[in-house]
Amino acid sequence: MYLFFLFFFFCLALLQGTGRPEGEHHWPKHYPYCGGAFQSPIDITSEMLRFDPTLRPIEVQNYNLSPNEQLTLGNNGHSVQISLPHKMHISSLPHHYAAAQLHFHWGSSSRPSGSEHRVNSKQYAAEMHVVHFNTEKYPNMSMAVDKSDGLAVLGVLIEVGEFNPAFEHFLKFINGIKYRGQKVQMPGFNIRSLLPARLDEYYRYDGSLTTPPCYPSVLWTVFRNHVTISRKQFLALATALYSSHAQDSVPVPLNGNYRKSQVVDSRVVLVSFKESKYGLHGTLTVISPLTRKRIIEQLLVGDLADLADEGLHQLLPSGSEKLYAGKGNDLKDEQSERVAKSKHQTLNPSLWKKGQTNRPVGTTVLAEDSLCYVSLEQRVFRRLKHSHTENQLVHALRDTVFPELNLKSYLTCKSDLALPTIRHILRGRPTDEAFELNHSLTKALMNQRKTSTAIKKSLPVTNSASLSPATVSRKPHNQGDPHPWLLPMEWED
């Protein structure tokens, strides 16, 4: 029992900031997940956004705590943490997620930029994380922390500006936790007041803990609207605390406790809002799995010569209005089903976690759980490149495993449809027709690259914090994506 509780509090500590980012590059040596896929935080850029009309406003329950309810405020050497009662929960997600704790990441007095997530490269002064765990499936945090559907975290971006009275509820006690390991009791207050006024506008993506062991177990909700605190309040975080113990001879300041942005790996960031602050109506919309299946069917049984003659748009969702005709109910059902499965299908626990039953080798096990295939493909080939490996296994991965995985990933809205996958589908079809369509696709790719290059040269420099029409509607897909013209998305006007 003692070991159980020790592990429980160890996991809670791991959810906090690291105190210092210097050792980040060493993390993967001891914690393999830190060098793996689905890592957080990320820089949320406009080209990766996809509007999802099924995303509901975040609904938090029992966040208004009574002053008679005592909370524990502590300094764990990595961050400021407030323990939260499990009766607090999120009621608008596929599972019941109960609150466990909240903590902060921040910069320093000389560099007040310490948020973990960035938006179009803009880093805010600080960031608050409210950590919840899935109580429907797991009895406690220690059991949930390494599961693919284990955690849900609300991220709040914080900027220096107007004084925020809500933050005073705990900042007035901060001198009592100056050193690592110190804790004080404080009265409960309305935790909802720490969040932005609007909970219906947010970014949503699958990610990880931002500290070792970096389990890819977090359903991230980062609110679009930031909150402000005064400079004096920010300095209370950035200058009043130490990551060292009181008895240590040399005190070590606690600041800069944020992880740098991680590789996106062609992940999609869903957004709940359609129109940007800057008047832009061009947010991309996620195509439903139903429509994606029909796109695949066109490749499997359609007239390939006509597809080549009529153009690439017949293959991709720009012509999807025809596919939607008369299928409104089917589309709604598909979208609801996708939302319900959005997180627990992201990772296959048997592939990532020890102690699970091994599955027999056969058709791609990974494909069953709709991983973002691009991240896996890039990781595998990066390692093979370093080892100069060229053998039958490599060809099997390239020719069979990755196309099958990409199909599964595409149909569940996790990845784009890659050109090698289309070529894989075309195998077995009439040679002339397949060749003609392949030629059309290749030509479209070359034209897209030329157009993207020309547009990039002609675009004026814009504010990185804004979502200008140029950056969203014209900017090519992220650099890691080898096929920007095959975005399985449509414009929402």
- By C-alpha distance, which of 220, 237, 153, 156 is closest to 194? 156
Average pLDDT of every residue of the chain = 74
Instruction: In the chain, list all ranges with CATH 3.10.200.10.
Output: 2-271
**Over 80: is that where the pLDDT of 80 sits?**
yes
Share of the chain above pLDDT 90, in %: 44
What stretch of H or E contains 209?
none
Categorize the per-residue pLDDT at 166 as very low, low, confident or very high, splitting at 50, 70 and 90: very high
- By C-alpha distance, which of 391, 397, 388, 338 is closest to 367? 397
Q: Which residues are catalytic?
A: 78
CA distances, 147 to each of 269, 346, 351 (Å): 21, 10, 11
Residue of higher predicted confidence among 79 and 424: 79
What pLDDT is recorded for position 476? 30
For range 388-413, the mean pLDDT: 74
Which residues make Cβ contacts (< 8 Å) with residue 453, sequence separation at least 6?
none
**Over 60: is that where the pLDDT of 189 sits?**
yes
Categorize the per-residue pLDDT at 62 as very low, low, confident or very high, splitting at 50, 70 and 90: very high
- By C-alpha distance, which of 261, 255, 297, 226 is closest to 112? 255
Whether the pTM exceeds 0.75: the reply is no
- Supply 10's token pair: 């160890």
Q: Report, at the CATH architecture level, how domain 2-271 is classified.
A: Roll (3.10)
Tell me the CB-side half-sphere exposure of residue 289, using CA atoms within 13 A: 18
For range 60-84, the mean pLDDT: 96
